[in-house]
């Protein structure tokens, strides 16, 4: 039984991510916690209490509507709605890090530049703080079978434990795996990372880049028609985060296909 966490804000984007989760993991073999969080901040306790009541009632009505709609189309899926008063990113991260969920599935809208900071604050905040695998579903994306998964790797190492969620999806969907190394030239140093996924019998391809890794990835994906892109987000120290733009986080807002983000624990 797959245990999946799907945060929703009752937008079409989050509803589409919920539908994707059902289709990806199977209605009869999944338990999905549908989470909505709300938060009010006010110095006036009475006003805050009144606002809380309005927000909670509105959220409950919208949650009931969403549950009825989804259950009508997918009667076999096990949905567990949950509404809590808590800052959104903190609520998702706390549940994701509890160890109770196999994946977090979230929707996101495309954005660029400063819009990424505002529109992607929830997705970006969750990805940077959780240890759970996260699948980010582009807005309006229509599910298609995972005949092929592209696993984009760079020079950062990863462990066998890190790629376990990828192996789970490959086995469930009988997917082919294509390892994509975005680089200036062919590398002979891929033996160690490839060793962790040797049992998947991956093919290997190269994208000789323009210097814009995200553009190179997306150009490749548009030609390859893969059903999923997988990337590993390495844990980095404070100075490294200041000096290095995260390719993985940027890809969150711009990938043309769903993005599976795995987390490597080493720094």
**Each residue of 105-140: pLDDT tens digit?**
999 875 444 444 433 568 888 988 899 999 999 988
Query: Sorting pLDDT into bands at 50, 70 and 90, what band is 227?
Result: very high
**Token pair in block for residue 182:** 């975005």
Say yes or no to pLDDT of 77 above 80: yes
Whether residue 104 contacts residue 7, with contact meaning beta carbons closer than 8 Å, is answered with yes
DSSP strand pairing (203-208 vs 2-7): unpaired
For residue 35, the model assigns a pLDDT of: 96
- CB burial string 11-35: b at 16+ within 10 A, e below: eebbbbbbbbbbebbebeebebbbb
For residue 64, the model assigns a pLDDT of: 96
Arithmetic mean of pLDDT, 159-177: 94
Specify the pTM: 0.87
Contacts of 132 (CB under 8 A, 6+ apart): 5, 96, 97, 101, 102, 103, 104, 263
Supply the mean pLDDT for the chain: 83
Arithmetic mean of pLDDT, 31-40: 89
**Rounded to whole angstroms, how far apart are CA atoms 265 and 158?**
9
Lowest mean pLDDT of 34-38, 142-146, 177-181, 205-209, name the range.
205-209
CATH superfamily of 2-138: HUPs (3.40.50.620)
Domain with CATH 3.40.50.620 in the chain: 2-138, 148-264
Query: Sorting pLDDT into bands at 50, 70 and 90, what band is 16?
Result: very high
Percent of the chain with pLDDT over 70: 80
Arithmetic mean of pLDDT, 81-93: 93
Query: Sorting pLDDT into bands at 50, 70 and 90, what band is 43?
Result: very low
For residue 186, the model assigns a pLDDT of: 59
CATH code for residues 148-264: 3.40.50.620
């Amino acid at each position: 039984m797959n245990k999946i966490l799907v945060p929703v804000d009752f937008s079409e984007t989050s509803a589409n991510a919920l539908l994707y989760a059902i289709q990806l993991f199977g209605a009869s073999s999944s338990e999905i916690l549908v989470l909505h969080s709300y938060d009010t901040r006010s110095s006036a306790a009475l006003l805050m209490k009144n606002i809380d009541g309005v927000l909670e009632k509105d959220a409950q009505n919208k949650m009931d509507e969403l549950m009825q709609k989804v259950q009508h189309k997918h009667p076999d899926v096990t949905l567990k709605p949950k509404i809590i008063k808590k800052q959104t990113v903190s609520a998702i991260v706390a549940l994701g890090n509890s160890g109770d969920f196999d994946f977090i599935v979230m929707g996101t809208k495309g954005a660029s530049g400063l819009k990424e900071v505002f529109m992607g604050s929830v997705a970006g905040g969750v990805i940077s703080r959780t240890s759970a695998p996260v699948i980010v579903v582009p807005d309006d994306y229509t599910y298609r079978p995972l005949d092929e998964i592209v696993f984009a790797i760079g020079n950062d190492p990863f462990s066998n434990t890190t790629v376990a969620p990828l192996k789970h999806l490959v086995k469930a969907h009988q997917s082919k795996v294509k390892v994509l190394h975005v680089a200036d030239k062919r590398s002979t140093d891929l033996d160690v990372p490839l060793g962790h996924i040797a049992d998947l019998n991956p093919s290997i391809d190269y994208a000789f880049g323009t210097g814009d890794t995200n553009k190179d990835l997306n150009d490749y994906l548009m030609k390859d028609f893969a059903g999923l892109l997988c990337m590993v987000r390495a844990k980095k120290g404070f100075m490294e985060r200041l000096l290095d733009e995260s390719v993985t986080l940027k890809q969150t807002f711009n990938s043309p296909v769903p993005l599976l983000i795995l987390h490597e624990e080493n720094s």
